[in-house]
Amino acid sequence: MIFGLIDKLRRSRAGGNPYFASRSARYGFPPARERRGALLLSLCLVAGAASADKLKSGVFEPPRAAPEIALGAADGSAFKLANYRGKVVVLEFGYTHCTDVCPVSLASLAQARRKMGPDAAGLQVVFITVDPARDTAPHLRAYLAKFDPSFVGLTGSQAQVDAVLKAYGIAATRKPIEGSKTDYTMHHSSYLYFVDRQGMLRALMPFGRPADEMVHDAKLLLQN
């Protein structure tokens, strides 16, 4: 409104005299209001692009190489993280008896892959058990297939799993269930670890973030 009044005043002052006309009219620039609008629009676009370019996850600066994972895959083959160069790998540490965290994260990851469409081929989800005593390879394979058949499950001996957990700085502790001598739950890290196409550990996404944010970060890492 203020800019409109100023323009009106300028036009009334000009009265046909080119000297009093605005500089934009004299020199053939776009009117000041349009220039301001264009400047504002470009600033908004730059700001929008900057925020779109940022990962929603927590990021490491500088990133380090993701530690190699020497475990067996649920299909019986030997897993090697280095074989997935060129793909974005999302690591989830959990266990199949988990009732609150793991199924929610796996379901969100499956949803994210569906939302990614053809780009989903560039995203590999790897589920690493923190409870190898109960998560045998066949059990892990059947469990993950319920979410997405492309998910890879990893298990091994307790010592092998402990070595991987240590390399990623993950704590997993066994908590006995009250009233039972054999049953227990595992308290474990609920983060999702994003490894980029070059094998660098780039980001950690806290538990509970929506599938859209997973899609956003996975796509961004696929572009870089």
The residues of the shown chain that bind other proteins, judged by CB under 8 A, are: 54, 56-62, 64, 168-171, 187, 189-191, 204, 206
Which C-beta is closer to other proteins: that of 129 or that of 143?
129
Supply the minimum distance, in Å, between the C-beta of residue 200 and other proteins: 12
Which C-beta is closer to other proteins: that of 9 or that of 44?
44
Q: Distance of alpha carbon 127 from its chain centroid, rounded?
A: 16
Strand stretches in 76-120, DSSP E? 88-94
**Residue 43: how many other CB atoms lie within 10 Å:** 10
Are 38 and 30 spatial neighbours (Cβ–Cβ below 8 Å)?
yes
Supply the minimum distance, in Å, between the C-beta of residue 167 and other proteins: 8
Q: How many residues does the chain have?
A: 224
Backbone angles phi, psi at 67, to 5 degrees: -60, 140
Indicate if the alpha-carbon torsion angle 135, 140, 144, 150 is positive or negative: positive
Are 55 and 202 spatial neighbours (Cβ–Cβ below 8 Å)?
yes
Supply the minimum distance, in Å, between the C-beta of residue 4 and other proteins: 27
Q: Which two tokens stand for residue 159?
A: 């010592």
Which C-beta is closer to other proteins: that of 25 or that of 204?
204
Supply the minimum distance, in Å, between the C-beta of residue 64 and other proteins: 5
Supply the minimum distance, in Å, between the C-beta of residue 190 and other proteins: 8
Which C-beta is closer to other proteins: that of 29 or that of 60?
60
Which C-beta is closer to other proteins: that of 26 or that of 54?
54
**DSSP structure class, residue 29:** P
Residues linked to residue 176 through DSSP beta bridges, in sequence order? 184
Which C-beta is closer to other proteins: that of 96 or that of 189?
189
Q: Which two tokens stand for residue 130?
A: 């923190």
Are 167 and 67 spatial neighbours (Cβ–Cβ below 8 Å)?
yes
Supply the minimum distance, in Å, between the C-beta of residue 98 and other proteins: 14
